[in-house]
Amino acid sequence: MPVLDTIDQPVLLLNEAIARANLKRMADKVAAAGVRFRPHFKTHQSAEIGQWFRDFGVETITVSSVEMAEYFAEAGWQDILIAFSVNIRQIERIQALAQRIHLSVLVENEEAVTALIGLADVHLDVWVKVDVGNHRTGLDWMELGGITKICKAVQHHANLTLRGLLTHSGNTYHSDGVAGVVRTFRDGVERLKRVRSALEEQGMTGLEISVGDTPGCSLCDDFSGIDELRPGNFIFYDAQQAAIGACSPEQIAVAVACPIVALHPERAEVVVYGGAIHLSKDSLEVDSKVSFGLPVLPEGNGWGKPLQNCIIRSLSQEHGVLQFTDGKIPPLHIGDLVIIMPAHSCLTVQVMRRYLTLDGKWIETMNH
Amino acid sequence: MPVLDTIDQPVLLLNEAIARANLKRMADKVAAAGVRFRPHFKTHQSAEIGQWFRDFGVETITVSSVEMAEYFAEAGWQDILIAFSVNIRQIERIQALAQRIHLSVLVENEEAVTALIGLADVHLDVWVKVDVGNHRTGLDWMELGGITKICKAVQHHANLTLRGLLTHSGNTYHSDGVAGVVRTFRDGVERLKRVRSALEEQGMTGLEISVGDTPGCSLCDDFSGIDELRPGNFIFYDAQQAAIGACSPEQIAVAVACPIVALHPERAEVVVYGGAIHLSKDSLEVDSKVSFGLPVLPEGNGWGKPLQNCIIRSLSQEHGVLQFTDGKIPPLHIGDLVIIMPAHSCLTVQVMRRYLTLDGKWIETMNH
C-alpha cells in the first residue's frame, strides 16, 4: 500500500532522498573548504539517521544537552561536543560521559570552570562560548578581559584542554536577505579572529574557531579562518530556512501529514487533525501574515510545491486551521491529507518523536 | 533530600495539593449546579492523575484524540467522549473503541456521519459540533439548515444516538476581562439553546447541551440550561489563564524547574537550561511584552510568587532567556533554579511527558 494511504493520524514524513542530498551537499562543501565537520545532531535526534553521516567520514558531532550526548554515546559516537554552556548541576553526568568518550564542553563563567576542575580522573576539551552579536548567551567578544580570564583558568589545569573559541551566530536567522546572512556570518568569524589574535598576544596559541548556524553555512562560500563547522538544521531544513533563503522549499525533507476533518468554504478555511502537539507552536511570516508552517498537497508518493496564498492561521492542541487568503479553496475532501512543512523542523521532530519514510519505514529518535 | 535538590535538568514539577484543590473546587461547583461533569483529560494526559477524579464520582471523561481515548480506555474509563470532529481515516479504531466502551463522538459533516453509519455491530453516541462564535470549526449556529440536516442523518440510524449540541467557546480566551469571559460563555449557551429550540420544533426532542472551556467554567456561576461541562485546563491552570483572570497565580499547579547556566547583569538577563522543548513555544503578554511563561523562584519545597518585572523574552530549543525589565537582577547564582509557570500547561505537559511531585514521586503521562 502507498505510504500515504496508511496514515490515519498526524505523521512526520521523511523524504530520505532529500535529506541525504542535503547532507551530501553540506558535507562536500565543508570538506572542499578543508574544515572539520562537526554536525549538530539536535535536529534529527536519531541514532539511525546519525549513521548516514558515517558515509561522509563524520566522526565528530555536536549535541545540545547532556542527555543527547548520553544517547549518541550509547549509539557509538566517540567524539561529542555539548554545545550548551556547562550546567553545573549535571557535573556528575558530564564526568561519567568523559570517562567513556572524548567529550568537549562549553564554558562562559568561572563557576563552570571550577566545577570542571573538580572532576578527577577525566580529561575534557573546553571551548569558550563567545557572543559575537546574537545576545542569547556567551561572553561578549569585546570583553577581552573576561574572555582572557576564563581562558587562563581553563589552561591552568592539566585535565582540561583549552580548544578555542565557539559561537552560534543565531542572529543570521534575523538577517536581511542572503547578503545579510553572509555578512552576519563573516562578521562573527572576524570577531572571533580578533579575539583569538588578542589571546595569542598573551601567549595562548593554537586556539581554534568553531562556528555553525545553518543559514550561514548554507549561504556563505567563504569558510576561511574557520576550523570547525557545526550546522544541524540543514539535514531537513524547514519553512523558516526557506523564508531566509537558506534553502528552497524543494530541499525541505520533513513534513507532517494531516487528515482533513472539516471544510469551511464560506471563509476559505480547511481544518486538519494536526496541531501544536504535532508541529510545535513555532511560526514564520508568509506575505506579512503569521503561519505555522507551509501547507502542500500529496503528489505521487510524496508531496508537491507549497500551496499559493495559503497559510496556517492558527494551531490549537490538535487542530490546524488553513486559510486560503485569496478566498478560493482547491478541490479538497474530508479525509484527504494536507501535508505541512514545519516552521521549525527541530521542534517538530522533538514533538513527533519518530519519522515515517516515504517507503514506509519507521525511524526512531531519542525521545520515542 | 528535598526534591528541588535532586533536579539536574528541566523537570516539570507538580504541586499535587494545588491540583487537587483545583479539582475539588471545579467538581463541587459543577455538582452544585446539578450538571454532568465530563472533564477534559487532554491537559494532564495521565492515567494516574485521572484516578484523582474518581474521588469526586467522575465516570464520564473527555479526550481530544482517538489515541488518548485508547489510552484512557486501557486505564479503565468506560464512558469517553472524543471532543474532536470525527477523522474518517480513524474509523476502524473508533469502531474498535466502541466495541470496548461507551463512546461518544463529534460530527460536523455528512462524510463523518456516513462513515459512522457504516460501522456494524457497534453503538455510538453522537454530538453535533456547533460553532457559536469561536470560528475554529463546527457548524455555524446560525446555519440551522445545515445543522438540521446533520442531526436528521444521525437520528435516522439505529446504531447512532443523537445526544445533543456541543461547542467549545474557545473565544473566551480572547474575551475582554472577567465580564467579557462570562458574557461570551453565556452567549454561547444561549445560542445553543436557540438551535435546540429550533430542532425541537422539528420533532427532535431530548437533545442536550455540552459546553466547557476553563475560563468560562471558572468565572461563570450561571450554568443554567447546560447539561454537561467539559473543562480540562483548570486542573493545573497556567499563566495564560492567570492573565485572563480565570485563576490566580497561586492556583497554578505545574511549573518547569530550570537550572541557571549564565548571568548577564549588563543587560539584566539570566539564561536558563529550559527551552521550547521543555515549555513549548506558546506565550502570553506581560506588561505589553511577549513572555514564554511566568518565572518564579524556589520557596521551601516549592515555589513562590511570580517575579515582578521579569519576562521570558526568548526561548530557543534548549535555552530560555529571562529579562528583568527594570534592569535589576535579584541575587541569583549559576546553578540555582528558576521555576517557570508555563504559558499553556497542556502543551508543556505534552512536551515534558511526566511530572515530579513536590514530594518526589514521578507521575507518567500517555507519552512517556
Kindly report, residue by residue over B26-66, the tens digit of the pLDDT. 999 999 999 999 999 999 999 999 999 999 999 999 999 99
Q: How far from each other are the two terminal CA atoms of chain B, in whole angstroms?
A: 25
Residues on chain B touching A347 (C-beta within 8 angstroms): 276-277, 281, 317
pLDDT tens for each residue of B219-229: 999 999 999 99
Q: Which residue is closest to B281 within chain A, CA to CA? A: A281
Arithmetic mean of pLDDT, B63-82: 98
Q: Which cell numbers in the block locate residue B188?
A: 454561547
pLDDT of residue B173: 74
Q: Please check whether residue B108 touches A, CB under 8 A.
A: yes
Residue B309 to residues B286, B293, B366, Cα–Cα distance (Å): 9, 13, 36
Q: Which residue is closest to A91 within chain B, CA to CA? A: B8
The number of angstroms, rounded, from the C-alpha of B37 to the middle of its chain's C-alpha atoms is 14
Q: Which residues pair with A357 in a beta bridge?
A: A14
Closest Cβ opposite residue B351 in set A92, A262, A351: A351
Phi, psi of B126 (to 5 degrees): -125, 130
What is the 8-class DSSP label of residue B116? Answer: H
Query: What is the number of other CB atoms lying within 10 angstroms of the CB of residue A297?
Result: 16
Q: Using CA of residue B356, residue B360, residue B363, residue B367, what is the dihedral sign? A: positive
pLDDT tens for each residue of B79-123: 999 999 999 999 999 999 999 999 999 999 999 999 999 998 899
- Residues of B (84-103) whose Cβ lies below 8 Å from A: 84-90, 92-93
Residues on chain B touching A214 (C-beta within 8 angstroms): none
Arithmetic mean of pLDDT, B187-215: 96
CB within 8 Å: B277 and A350: yes
pLDDT at B70 over 80: yes
Q: Is the CB of residue A235 less than 8 Å from the CB of residue A44?
A: yes
Q: Which residues pair with B357 in a beta bridge?
A: B14
* pLDDT tens, chain A, 368 aa long: 899 999 999 999 999 999 999 999 999 999 999 999 999 999 999 999 999 999 999 999 999 999 999 999 999 999 999 999 999 999 999 999 999 999 999 999 999 999 999 998 899 999 999 999 989 999 999 999 999 999 999 999 999 999 999 999 777 777 778 999 999 999 999 999 999 999 999 999 999 999 989 999 999 999 999 999 999 999 999 999 999 999 999 999 999 999 999 999 999 999 999 999 999 999 999 999 999 999 999 999 999 999 999 999 999 999 999 999 999 999 999 999 999 999 999 999 999 999 999 999 999 999 98
pLDDT at B177 over 90: no
pLDDT of residue B120: 82
